[in-house]
């Protein structure tokens, strides 16, 4: 019966009419990008600021669009046309009866636009009366079920749930930023906070611990880009700075090494910012979370940096950051990323002074050389898979609409999260390829199998399509 998804924005509603029209176009472009990316068919319609996506796959629309910046909330709904109040009530009753059965309920008419011979109160009272007999009674304050009704001209939308979206402003309504990206818990959340302000973010990852570190970080980057970045193709700059880390370890006193390395990251960023005309550097720094993130340290590190630094997480509590990472799905990737930037061996300077500059060498010349040697990816990172042939793999597909594949040593469709209770069924002599739509579920299974000593690789639907070519 559900055949549409209602989308709500928040901040766009307070913009001037001219600005709102521009932002709404970017909003629609992003929604289309999200649907196209996930292979979901849907028709978008604007009812004066209330956007509706009509689709025969509303659940897939919900998953595709919930993380599009500017979408504040979403509701899967039953949409129908009507010619009279009786017809509206008949259809709405058909939708609501199974939901209110033996439960306390209420009816709320959220909005009504257009000219009708009935009022919003008429709809609420008469629909409530028709649903009452099947229910456990009416509760206007703490109901078990709320039936929402929106009437727009000759069309009605009835729904009973609302899912949180990202909110904010649509992609492309802000400028270009460069984000220092470590892949840990903070930097992906910082990216999300900036993306929902409309910024277009490119990413700089500074590698210090070999290719395995890069592959680990890139998995989370791919999820972030595929899930949250719309209306543009982000760039990922990868700079191998292991030599600089070694130089800092040998040339800088231990207590100043963290500051020296952070200063180097800023110098590296300054070059890219000049080359690509970014308006600012962005980081996931949180005030006083680390020794190099005290107020004094941040001021000391930044004082020679010529470009503004945006720190969207600066005053947030760590538990709030983790909660957002879990909701957004980035935490599963970030919790497995090892931190390799601690160069100090003892106490570190938390309140550096002007005289301490003599201990902090400039690595600008080295930074310029490393930029020339850096790797750049447009869009998704092309992961290097250890498997040589799909034909040698046991393929596990977690997608509910999966079709039997003609390649692979074996193929199974399994359900998530039930598969996590079936890990004893896996053969340690086999190599497994785990597939799901976004890569999030398959990555969780991969980790669980690897902890048992089983060879497994997780891929998203997009990554798997590339492997088949």
Read off the pLDDT of residues 300-338 as tens digits, 9 standing for 90 and up: 888 888 889 999 999 999 999 999 999 999 998 898 787
Torsion of CA 13, 17, 22, 26, to 10 degrees: 20
Mean pLDDT of the chain: 89
Q: Is the pLDDT of residue 50 over 80?
A: yes
Looking at the structure, tell me whether residues 122 and 215 fall in a common domain: no
pLDDT in tens, 384-405: 555 556 667 888 888 876 665 6
Residue 366's pLDDT band (boundaries 50, 70, 90)?
confident
| CA nearest neighbour of 263 among 236, 303, 295, 290 | 303
Per-residue model confidence (pLDDT) at position 233: 93
Mean pLDDT of 103-118: 93
Per-residue pLDDT at 95 exceeds 90: yes
CA atoms of 227 and 148, how far apart (whole Å): 29
Q: What is the pLDDT of residues 263-273, one digit of tens each?
A: 999 999 999 99
Q: Residue 13 maps to which CATH number?
A: 3.30.2130.30
Same domain, 194 and 257: yes
Identify whether residues 139 and 198 lie together within a single domain. no
At which of 112, 136, 164 does a domain end? 164
Residues 187 and 158 in one domain: no
**Average pLDDT of the segment spanning 287-308:** 85
- Is 146 part of any domain? yes
- Confidence at 410, pLDDT banded by 50, 70, 90: confident
Do 359 and 425 lie in a common domain? no
Q: Which residue has the higher pLDDT, 440 or 229?
A: 229
* 8 A C-beta contact, residue 235 and residue 377: yes
Task: Give the pair of three-digit tokens for residue 307.
Answer: 């470009």
The predicted structure's pLDDT at residue 345:
64
Q: Is residue 366 part of a domain?
A: yes
Using alpha carbons only, what angle is made at residue 353 by residues 351 and 359, rounded to the nearest 5 degrees?
A: 105
Answer yes or no: do 457 and 329 share one domain: no
Domain shared by 314 and 276, yes or no? yes
Domain end call among 137, 164, 191: 164
Contact 128, 107 (CB under 8 A): yes
* Prediction pTM value: 0.83
Please state whether 114 falls in left (phi above 0), alpha (psi between -120 and 50) or beta: left
For residue 348, what pLDDT band results from cuts at 50, 70 and 90?
confident
Task: For residue 345, give its domain range.
Answer: 176-378
When divided into structural domains, the chain yields a total of 3
Please tell me whether residues 59 and 183 are part of one structural domain: no
Claim to verify: residue 220 and residue 199 sit in the same structural domain = yes
Residues 431 and 289 in one domain: no
**Helical segments of 114-256, H only:** 120-132, 186-195, 211-228, 242-251
CATH number of the CATH domain containing 193: 3.40.50.620
81 within a domain of the structure (yes/no): yes
In CATH, what number is assigned to the domain containing residue 435? 3.40.250.10
Arithmetic mean of pLDDT, 51-69: 95
State yes or no: pLDDT of 383 exceeds 70. Answer: no
In this structure, are 192 and 237 located in the same domain? yes
| Distance in angstroms (rounded) separating the CA atoms of residues 382 and 35 | 22
Q: Are 191 and 181 in contact (CB under 8 A)?
A: yes
Q: Which of 218-222, 256-260, 352-356, 419-423 has the lowest mean pLDDT?
A: 352-356
Q: Same structural domain for residues 13 and 158?
A: yes
Residue 469, CA distances (Å) to 160, 337, 381, 403 in order: 43, 29, 16, 17
DSSP label of 18? H
Please check whether residue 282 lies inside any domain of the structure: yes
Instruction: Flag whether pLDDT at 469 surpasses 70.
Output: no
Boundary-marking domain end, from 329, 353, 378:
378
Band of pLDDT at residue 126, cut at 50, 70 and 90: very high
Alpha helix segments (H runs only) across 15-157 = 17-38, 58-65, 85-100, 120-132
- Sign of torsion over alpha carbons 73, 176, 331, 29: positive
* pLDDT for residue 354: 84
């Amino acid at each position: 019966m559900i055949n549409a998804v209602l989308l709500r924005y928040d901040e766009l509603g307070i913009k001037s009419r001219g600005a709102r029209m521009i932002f709404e176009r970017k909003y629609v472009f992003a929604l289309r990008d999200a649907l196209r990316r996930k292979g979901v068919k849907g028709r978008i319609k604007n009812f004066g600021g209330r956007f509706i996506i009509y689709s025969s796959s509303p659940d897939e629309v919900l998953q595709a669009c919930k993380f599009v910046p500017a979408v504040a909330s979403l509701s899967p709904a039953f949409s129908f046309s009507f010619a009279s109040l009786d017809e509206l009530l008949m259809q709405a009753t058909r939708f609501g009866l199974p939901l209110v059965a033996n439960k306390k309920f209420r009816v709320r008419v959220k909005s009504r636009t257009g000219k009708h011979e009935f009022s919003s109160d008429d709809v609420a009272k008469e629909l409530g009366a028709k649903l009452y007999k099947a229910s456990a009674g009416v509760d206007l304050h703490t109901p078990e079920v709320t039936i929402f009704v929106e009437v727009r001209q000759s069309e009605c939308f009835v729904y009973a749930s609302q899912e949180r979206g990202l909110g904010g402003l649509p992609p492309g309504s802000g400028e270009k930023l460069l984000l220092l990206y470590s892949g840990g818990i903070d930097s992906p959340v910082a990216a999300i906070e900036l993306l929902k302000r409309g910024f277009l973010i490119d990413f700089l990852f500074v590698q210090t611990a070999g290719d395995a570190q890069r592959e680990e970080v890139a998995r989370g980057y791919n999820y972030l880009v595929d899930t949250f970045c719309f209306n543009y193709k982000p760039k990922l700059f990868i700079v191998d700075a292991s030599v600089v880390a070694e130089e800092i370890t040998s040339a800088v006193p231990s207590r100043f090494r963290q500051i020296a390395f952070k200063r180097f990251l800023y110098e590296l960023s300054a070059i890219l910012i000049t080359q690509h005309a970014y308006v600012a550097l962005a980081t996931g720094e949180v005030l006083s979370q680390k020794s190099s993130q005290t107020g004094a340290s941040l001021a000391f590190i930044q004082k020679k940096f010529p470009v503004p630094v945006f720190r969207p997480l600066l005053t947030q509590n760590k538990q709030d950051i983790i909660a957002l990472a879990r909701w957004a799905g980035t935490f599963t990737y970030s919790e497995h990323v090892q931190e390799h930037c601690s160069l100090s061996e003892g106490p570190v300077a938390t309140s550096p002074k002007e005289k301490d500059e003599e201990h902090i060498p400039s690595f600008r010349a080295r930074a310029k050389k490393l930029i020339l040697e850096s790797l750049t990816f447009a869009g998704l990172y092309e992961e290097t898979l250890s498997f040589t042939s799909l034909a040698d793999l046991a393929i596990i597909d977690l997608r509910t609409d999966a079709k039997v594949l003609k390649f692979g040593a074996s193929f199974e469709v399994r359900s998530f999260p039930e598969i996590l209770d079936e890990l004893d069924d896996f053969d340690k002599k086999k190599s497994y390829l785990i597939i799901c739509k976004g890569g999030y579920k398959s990555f969780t299974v991969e980790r669980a199998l690897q902890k048992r000593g089983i060879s497994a690789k997780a891929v998203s639907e997009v990554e798997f399509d590339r492997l088949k070519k």
